Amino acid sequence: MGLQLTSDDQVLALAPDSSAASAGKKLAQTKHWKSMGQSTEALWGECQGSGKDPYQVRVDLANLAITCSCPSRKLPCKHALGLLLITVDTPKVVPTKEPPEWVTSWLAKRAAVSKRKETKETPKAPGTPPTAAQIKNAEKRVTQMTKGLDQLDLWLHDLIRNGLASVESQPHTFWESQKAKMVDAQMPGIGNRVLRLAEIPHASSNWPEKLLSELGKLALLTHSFRQIQRLEPALQLDVRQLVGEPIKQEEVSTLGQIITDDWLILGQRVSTEDKLRRQATWMLGTQTGQEALVLQFAFGMSPFTEVFPLGVRQCADLTFWPGASLQRARVEARRGEIVPLREPLPGAETIEDFFKRVAKNLARQPWQERFLCTLRNVTPVCHNKGSRWSIRDTTGAVLPLAQSEEQYWRLLALAGGHPVDFAAEWDGETLLPLGMLVDNTYYLL
Amino acid sequence: MDAFVIAALVGTAQQPNLEITTGTGIDSLTTQLAVTEPEHKLLLSAGAWALYRQAGKVSETLSTIPEPARSESQAACTQRITTLLESMFQGEHDNLLPEALERIKQAGLRLPHELLIPALNIQDKELRSAIFPVLGERGRWLSQFNPSWSWVGHYLPGAEEAQLAEAESIWQEGTQGQRQSILRLLRASDPTKARERLAAAWKQEKADARTELLNTFTVGLSAADEEFLEKALDDRAAGVRAAAASLLAHLTNSAFAARMQKRADAMLTYEAKKLIVTVPTTLEKDWLRDGIVAKPTAYGVGQHTWWLTQVLSLVPPAHWVEHFGISADKLIGATRANADWRDTLVSCWASAASLHRDERWSMALWDWASNPSTKKKDAAVWNEQTSLLECISQHEAEQRILSLFSNPKHPGNEDWEDALAVLRKPWSKEFGDSYLQELHSHLSKLEFKKNNSPYNDSWYQSIDTAKIALHPASFAGALKDWELSEKSSDTSPSSWQKTYWIEELKKFTEAIRIRQRFIEEIVL
């Protein structure tokens, strides 16, 4: 297989920030490296740092998994970036040879872990009857959930009977305790929806409308769940996941659809909640036009397991979570070379077209909240000295950008009031920019 | 407000039998609902209604947007240069920015768009002047949107000839900064026309604007300006009066200069090889008109010293040579016999030499102070050493700094890095080579003792200047390996002083390498 990266730009697109990128460039000189080597499966090198022992960098070429023995929490760290840059620039100085023990043992460990995962995921042979304990557990679960749903309906009805004006005086525990009840009833998905309601009152001038919309959708969800058999099979899977019934990896493998395409990896957003970091990577299939959301989770400062180069195109197999509207996916196999984005983005020509696509997705799965938005020929516009921002399509329609601490001056500097191709996450109200293509260069935002 | 929202806010307890219709397909769905509680019914229909509107969302429209930026007429600098500039804007080797930006400007290039934001965010005034010419169309366009980038509007775009062609409209409609710029340009090409322009507008200008505009007269100042300046001495604004006085002081044949000389002559006499100082007891009104301030503004300065200092600092030092008929050297030497006024006289002459850019006197004062027989405490002139050096031609000034290197006990040796910093840049190749040689020999003798801080070491301090001042012809000498003395590394291999030196030398060669890259990448 060998290294699939072929240019500096691609390597630098992997850098977690610009300081890591520039430090990596400095280490891209052979004099810093005690040893280097590559094989069909791996790339490795030993970089002499300030300490006694050199730092050991290992790259699994099958999926670009990278590890380094240095204490840096950045992934990839400057050592890994330096090694990748040398390999891309001057492949000859990195000899092809048998990997040393510290590389082979690491590869073996990785292989063992993924095998263990696979065995775990292997669906049980059909026809194996569930054990008595399993049946009992499932029954217990159904009882708990039904009780939970009854309780939730009571709570919802109380709210509406007394009027939404009453929530103004409710403390945060009002929402929290209701969430806890839902988690106890094995419905964490519902619980999270309840907790998110707490943020709505007073956050905007039209909060009663927003709150009622969310309460209404929540009621629709529980109503659907109570009569789940009446729904189409695909939507049944969505509703189960939304309520919080975990979909097992094996179900994703057996029920999920695999789509092979040339995927544009358009951008990434990382959010943190209770020390759990959630990384959302947005991809778009060039042939199918399918959007894909790849999620990774990591605790505290530990790095995410997989590294996605951004602003690039790569052929890959993606497995989509089963459901009526495909969105969440995982990368099954990467197949081709990683190529920086240079061509116009496939996307909607107008905001109206984009809204039509959103409507279609909502018709398939009404609880979907986030959508990938790629728009052609839109102009970033700065309002009122940078206090508000929007993008405008060629028909004059505008969509607002999310309020952000760091403003969008970079958008304005790069686009200069001219139309550009633009990628963002749409949350139903505002756009969270991911990247844009200007003069054949894709800039991450 | 939506009927559903009103119902939900009020609560179904108040209106249990409310029927809400929307006039859409939602209504028929609602009627099919097999639910009985009014709360449940309201929730489900409100949910459906929310989805209905979400799916049918229509965006707002914006009929006009600002004009887009014009296309660039200059090419952007290369990716390699962009990478170097990016780290400079982040503060790494930022002292190389002025030279780097100047080279980009001279090559007719501009900053790439991705660097415009850090460039526009620069606060330093001098750097801004270097940034403005390389902003390109995009940078100037971008600056209109952010109030903190309004400084761009104070500069005049385009070549000087084009600006002069637009002089009338810039003068009438431009920002205050632009009006100063155009007046300064006019002063350079046609001082009389510039003065007449200002004279015509003089009465309508505010006090601050009058002061700032008058200050442009430093360009192309001549006797022809005297009449206008003399009138400005009676201006109602103190700032204008002070500006006029300091301009008149430069005109050695003016009535103002003659009045100052007359006052000075009355205060300073030379008899029997001695300098005698007589200061009047009261201040005449005409002194005040000429900008002399009655009360000392500096702490610890007596009233008489203050008056004397103000007058003497304005009189060209050459006047005394003519007036007393003796040489500058002798006059300076004669101060020694007047212990009370010695320091005041020498520093007044030093300021006057610097004001009138008198190279002869500047050198005479410097050399007198450098004479081994001059005691350090006598040499008040060292307080003025940097301003004196600025009046001395490059070659002569470099020679004088070189003599400081070779004479460590020299009275001016303390803090000579400050004097080094005012030498003209770049240094001559000869001076740069000598500097590097001396630095080498200093390093070979360096001892890393406990109380030996690099911060008290002028050589350590001087490297910052060398980074930017070294002539490209001297680069090879700066790029060889810098080794610290062996004996010190044996005694304390990890002393912090040594670490500091190693770091500083590393940064030095790094800076030189960056300058080398700029010369290689941007061919002029």
DSSP string, A143-159: HHHHHHHHHHHHHHHHH
- For residues A244 and A190, the answer to whether their CB atoms sit within 8 Å is yes
Give the pLDDT of residue B490.
47
Distance CA A193, CA A244 (A): 10
Instruction: Provide the residue ranges of all domains of chain B, joining segments of one domain with +.
Output: 3-55, 79-154, 160-250, 252-415, 425-524
Give the pLDDT of residue A52.
77
Confidence band for B488, pLDDT divided at 50, 70 and 90: very low
Interface test with A, best of B65, B72, B517 (most A CBs within 10 A): B65
Q: Residue B208: CA atoms inside 13 Å, Cβ hemisphere, count? A: 2
pLDDT tens digits, one per residue of A35-48: 999 988 899 999 98
Distance CA B123, CA B499 (A): 32
Give the pLDDT of residue A139.
84
Both tokens assigned to B274: 């001695």
pLDDT tens digits, one per residue of B42-84: 999 999 999 999 999 999 999 989 999 999 999 999 988 998 9
Q: Cβ contact (<8 Å) for A386 and B11?
A: no
Is residue B495 predicted with pLDDT exceeding 90? no
CA B6 to chain centre: 63
Mean pLDDT for chain A overall: 88
pLDDT tens digits, one per residue of B415-452: 788 888 889 999 999 999 999 999 988 888 877 776 67
Contacts of A163 (CB under 8 A, 6+ apart): B8, B9, B10, B11, B13, B14
Give the pLDDT of residue A313.
92
DSSP H or E run through A272:
strand A257-273
* Closest chain A residue to the Cα of B43, Cα to Cα: A216
Cis peptide before A76 (omega within 30 of 0): yes
Q: In a 10 Å sphere around its CB, with 0-12 CB exposed, 13-18 middle and 19+ buried, how is residue B394 labelled? A: middle
Is residue B370 predicted with pLDDT exceeding 80? no
Give the pLDDT of residue B25.
86
pLDDT tens digits, one per residue of B371-395: 766 665 555 666 677 888 889 999 9
Give the pLDDT of residue A134.
80
Instruction: Provide the residue ranges of all domains of chain A, joining segments of one domain with +.
Output: 8-116, 132-243, 254-340, 351-444
Is residue A119 predicted with pLDDT exceeding 60? no
For residues A105-128, b (16+ Cβ closer than 10 Å) or e, as one string?
Answer: ebbeebeeeeeeeeeeeeeeeeee
Which CATH architecture best describes the domain A254-340? Beta Barrel (2.40)
Give the pLDDT of residue A438.
94
Confidence band for A115, pLDDT divided at 50, 70 and 90: low
Question: What ipTM does the predicted assembly reach?
Answer: 0.81
Distance CA B427, CA B405 (A): 15
In Å, what is the CA distance from B415 to each residue of B67, B149, B395, B440, B442? 55, 38, 21, 19, 16
Distance CA B79, CA B74 (A): 15
Is residue B489 predicted with pLDDT exceeding 50? no
B20 touches chain A (CB under 8 A): no
Lowest mean pLDDT among A139-143, A256-260, B87-91, B422-426: A139-143
Give the pLDDT of residue B486.
56
Give the pLDDT of residue B410.
62
* Closest chain B residue to the Cα of A366, Cα to Cα: B51
Torsions phi, psi for A378 (to 5 deg)? -115, 155
Mean pLDDT for chain B overall: 88
Amino acid occupying residue B409? K
SS3 A45: strand
Out of A18, A381, A413, the one facing B142 most closely (by C-beta) is A413
List CB contacts (< 8 A) between A363 and chain B: 55
Is residue A118 predicted with pLDDT exceeding 70? no
Q: What is the distance in angstroms between the Cα of B114 and the nearest Cα belonging to chain A?
A: 6
Q: Region B287-304: what's the mean pLDDT?
A: 86
For residues A326-353, b (16+ Cβ closer than 10 Å) or e, as one string?
Answer: bbbbbbeebeeebbbbeeebebbebbee
- For residues B274 and B338, the answer to whether their CB atoms sit within 8 Å is yes
SS3 B35: coil
Q: What is the pTM of this model?
A: 0.80
Both tokens assigned to B401: 């700094």
pLDDT tens digits, one per residue of A127-186: 566 778 888 888 888 889 989 999 999 999 999 999 998 888 888 899 999 999 999 999
Interface of B with A in 491-510 (CB under 8 A): none
If one counts every other C-beta atom within 10 angstroms of the C-beta of residue A234, the result is 15
Give the pLDDT of residue B384.
74
Q: What percent of chain A has pLDDT over 90?
A: 51
